[in-house]
A and B are shown apart, each in its own frame.
Chain A
Amino acid sequence: MTSSVTSSVTSSDAPLLEIKNLNKSYGKLTACDDISFDLWPGEVLGIVGESGSGKTTLLKSIAGLVEPDSAEIIYHQKDQGPRSVNDMSEAERRILARTEWAFVHQHARDGLRMGVSAGANIGERLMAVGARHYGNIRSTAIDWLEQVEIDSGRIDDLPRTFSGGMQQRLQIARNLVTHPRIVLMDEPTGGLDVSVQAKLLDLIRSLVRQLDLSVILVTHDLAVARLLSSRLMVMQHGRVIEQGLTDQILDDPQAPYSQLLVSSVLQV
């Protein structure tokens, strides 16, 4: 009766991003030790682990913000099929980083231009992809400020006059305005007050669904990982210790280190 048990997938056919054998050392310290994984369309992949586990280095290596010692990164570009990111020219990578990819830094000031207005921060990425009409750019910027729940009356204010939570939301708007397909996020809720975190989590979750984003989310906060990600990788000492469905990793962790990580979280 159960003669054919299927183990192949019916729906999504190809990953969006393939990372193969990524290595990065700082002197004697191995930050990423031969890491391989795929990111699938529409998924939020959480990478968890303690500080120093290599998760941020991994994310920055993928983004090209850190040069890995070795890695093959294959991106399935819109309408173009798989392309090796390694083979792209510097200029091509820059275009990718401004269009189909986005990077949300832990500290908004690393992802924003603090010396120009909120509207210019959003408009800049649009202009980088060819938008020239001032009125259109401004109205898109207003739309995006509203999407991330910033009063559009603040459009001409400098980001430094914003609270931490607003700055982070502005950074997200700046990143998403060009409709990227892949968003890399490094501790996006780190350093924010808990009440501000909740608002940001809610916002990120609804934007991911609305815009059908694929996300790699680095966080040390397992509660954030549970709320946002569908799949998890646990890292320790530069290696992937365990990976699987988010609720399986958190509810029935198998590896000793994952068990320790999960059992160390305070219950509230």
Chain B
Amino acid sequence: MGDILQIKDLSKNFTMHTQNGAEINVFRDVWFDLKKGESVGITGPSGMGKSSLLKIIYGSYKADTGQVLIKHQGRWFDVADCLPRQILSIREATIGYVSQFLRVIPRVPTIAIVAEPLLERGVEKHQAYAKAGELLIRLNIPETLWSLSPLTFSGGEQQRVNIARGFIAPSPIMLVDEPTASLDDANRDTVLAMINEVRQQGTAVLGVFHNSHDRNMACTREFNLSDFRKAA
């Protein structure tokens, strides 16, 4: 009941053709369910494929075997076997992904970058910009910077711009990859609070967190990916 994401029998390998076809087996036969209103922190040592799992769910990595079932507009779709435009439509309405890195076109002002997801959903420009401004204030990006491109900002500022953009129009499923990695304590607490707020509004959160403190603050349970590591 309430499931919005079901992962079945999922395996991921990388074949590095430019390095003599070296094979990296990331994980095998992963099973996992995610419900509305819960927040799950993926655990496991570095290199266990935590970020890879998020990217497979988002459709930016390919799966080798298994299914990634996502409930999108009342129907189940297997992201591991969807056409590109289906994945784009799922991203538009159902899945958001917030990484710690910002990728932007040079020259576009910060406020426009943050407001863009709302504009894409058809929200009026002045409303979208007002909402973007609220988030930027909350994340301590001074108004004097809003009209500038974030390319020259510090790492932490860029990350906060990225988070503002990621949370301005929360999706039913939010994938977050180390959203607090380079933030100071105050901003970290704000981001953790924002994750809790969207979860309480019914969003299902799946994330990789920087440390156990942040994970405990943001998550309702853990999912240990190292249980799915097998020798090839």
Q: Do chains A and B stick together as partners?
A: yes
Which residues on A are within 8 Å of B, measured CB to CB?
1-2, 4-7, 9-12, 40, 43, 198-199, 201-202, 205, 209, 226-227, 230-231, 244-245, 247-248, 251-252, 254-256, 259-260, 263
The answer on a CB contact under 8 Å between A6 and B55 is no
The answer on a CB contact under 8 Å between B61 and A4 is no
The answer on a CB contact under 8 Å between B61 and A256 is no
Partner of B89, one of A9, A248, A254, A263: A9
Give the complex CA separation of A11 and B93 in angstroms: 12
Within 32-90 of B, Cβ neighbours of A (below 8 Å) are at: 55, 59-62, 67, 69, 73, 75-78, 81-89
Contacts of A12 in B (CB 8 A): 85
B148 → chain A closest CB, angstroms: 14
Partner of A202, one of B67, B88, B108, B120: B108
Chain B's interface size range is 20 to 34
Contacts of B84 in A (CB 8 A): 230-231, 244-245, 248
Beyond known contacts A43-B85, A198-B105, A245-B59: 17 more, CB 8 A cutoff: A1-B6, A4-B75, A5-B69, A5-B76, A7-B86, A9-B89, A10-B75, A201-B106, A230-B84, A244-B84, A247-B59, A251-B55, A252-B14, A252-B60, A254-B62, A256-B17, A263-B18
The answer on a CB contact under 8 Å between B55 and A7 is no
Decide: A7 near B108, CB < 8 A? Known: A248-B60, A254-B62: no
Which residues on B are within 8 Å of A, measured CB to CB?
3, 6, 14-18, 55, 59-62, 67, 69, 73, 75-78, 81-89, 103, 105-108, 120
The answer on a CB contact under 8 Å between B18 and A260 is yes
Of A2, A40, A43, A205, chain B has the most CB atoms within 10 Å of the CB of: A2
Partner of B61, one of A227, A248, A259, A263: A248
Q: List 10 A-B contacts (CB under 8 A).
A: A2-B6, A2-B69, A5-B77, A5-B78, A6-B76, A7-B78, A231-B84, A245-B59, A252-B14, A252-B61
Decide: A248 near B105, CB < 8 A? Known: A1-B3, A2-B69, A10-B73: no
Contacts of A244 in B (CB 8 A): 84
Contacts of B107 in A (CB 8 A): 198-199, 202
Contacts of B76 in A (CB 8 A): 2, 4-6
Contacts of A199 in B (CB 8 A): 107
Contacts of A2 in B (CB 8 A): 6, 69, 76
Give the complex CA separation of A231 and B105 in angstroms: 18
B23 → chain A closest CB, angstroms: 13
The answer on a CB contact under 8 Å between A201 and B60 is no
The answer on a CB contact under 8 Å between B85 and A231 is yes
Contacts of B108 in A (CB 8 A): 202
Give the complex CA separation of A227 and B108 in angstroms: 12
Decide: A198 near B85, CB < 8 A? Known: A256-B18, A259-B18: no
Contacts of B16 in A (CB 8 A): 259
Contacts of A4 in B (CB 8 A): 75-76
Give the complex CA separation of A205 and B107 in angstroms: 12
Decide: A10 near B87, CB < 8 A? Known: A202-B108, A251-B61, A259-B16: no
The answer on a CB contact under 8 Å between A9 and B86 is yes
Give the complex CA separation of A254 and B60 in angstroms: 12
B67 → chain A closest CB, angstroms: 7
Contacts of A226 in B (CB 8 A): 103
Decide: A245 near B86, CB < 8 A? Known: A7-B78, A259-B18: no
